[in-house]
Amino acid sequence: MSDTIKKICVIGAGTMGAGIAAQVANAGVPVLLLDIVRDPADRNAVAAGAVAKMLKTDPAPFMSKAAAKLVETGNIEDDLARVAECDWIVEAIVERLDLKQQLYAKLEDVRRAGTAISSNTSTIPLGHLIEGRSEAFRRDFLITHFFNPPRYMRLLEIVSGPESHAALVARVSDFADRQLGKTIVVAKDTPGFIANRVGTFWIQAALNAAFELGLTVEEADAIAGKPMGVPKTGVFGLVDLVGIDLMPHLQKSLTETLPKGDAYQAISTIPPLIGKMIAEGYTGRKGKGGFYRLN
Ligand code: NAD
């Protein structure tokens, strides 16, 4: 088992992966950032906007110049074997259980046993993620749920499983605390953990109310912004920040994993407008804009 974390691999260079990689590099730790996207100009890629920023030679919005030198980018197929160089692999790909499980199967043989592997999932319980994985993989696996944007949000939810190696979880927690300045909250292995168990319900309720009452985005955010603890963005602005395309994935994941009688099930619908916006590329700040225009 590696005792220290000297290099980190982040898989998925979207909204969260790019932000996590930047924060790690800003802390002076080398990062290997891998994605399926080869061409940063590929507008079909879900998070092409964020990837494009990350792959530019001067990623000033994310990192200092010195930190940018610590980030190497690559393609998940071509560079998969390079995950063995890293002491912690952070998976931050799209919120789909099937795709995450396929990726973990590929990582089984290439990663170094005893190095940490964690998911940045918003909602999917750890028990589901590690189904079918080897004992060694299950022992090294945990959930590290960063919040958006990683460089400003201090909270980190950590979920470990019954088989997770305690020393490895402690090593990741210690790194996140000391080098990334995170406040660690240990959550139980339940759908949405703590923050999204509450947050997704509240966002959904606010969206439903706004659509049902025919409120403007500004009116809805005047009500569900400052009074609800998100003074800067409001609810619609938060959805723009998070990524509008993430909403259907969160909804699907939670409706599949929460008990049938759960209060979220009763209110959970994705308004047709959201599907239309995603189809047209209005995925929020990472796309052409969202409920609010980009400046
Ligand atoms: P995103 O759609 O912005 O980015 C996902 C990236 O993963 C894309 O660049 C995509 O090309 C890449 N990808 C997809 N499949 C891949 C694969 N097999 N191998 C390598 N790369 C692959 O998504 P995001 O919003 O950054 O979310 C990533 C994860 O973080 C999800 O699990 C999400 O639930 C979670 N999360 C998101 C937020 C948020 O605010 N957006 C906050 C906390 C947690």
**Residue range 168-222, pLDDT digits in tens:** 999 999 999 999 999 999 999 999 999 999 999 989 998 999 999 999 999 989 8
Q: Which residues pair with 31 in a beta bridge?
A: 8, 71
Is ligand 1 within 6 A of the CB of residue 95? Answer: yes
Q: Give percent helix, percent strand, percent coil of the chain, each to the nearest 5.
A: 45, 15, 40
> Does the residue 284 lie in any domain?
no
State whether 175 and 273 are in the same domain: no
Give the distance (Å) from ligand 1 centre to CA of residue 138. Answer: 22
- Contact call for residues 188 and 196 (beta carbons, < 8 A): no
> CA-CA distance, 54 to 72, in Å (whole number)?
10
Residue 287, pLDDT > 60, answer: yes
Is ligand 1 within 6 A of the CB of residue 10? Answer: no
> Does the residue 291 lie in any domain?
no
Is ligand 1 within 6 A of the CB of residue 120? Answer: yes
pLDDT band at 62 (very low <50, low <70, confident <90, very high): low
pLDDT of the residue at 166: 97
State whether 115 and 254 are in the same domain: no
pLDDT of the residue at 58: 36
Is ligand 1 within 6 A of the CB of residue 230? Answer: no
Q: How many domains does the chain have?
A: 2
Helix (H) and strand (E) counts for the chain? Answer: 13, 8
Mean pLDDT of 102-113: 97
State whether 203 and 96 are in the same domain: no
Of 36, 53, 94, the one to substitute when testing ligand 1's pocket (max ligand atoms within 8 A of C-beta) is 94
Range of the domain at 181: 8-186
Indicate the residue among 137, 162, 186 that finishes a domain: 186
> Does the residue 87 lie in any domain?
yes
CATH at 48: 3.40.50.720
State whether 174 and 106 are in the same domain: yes
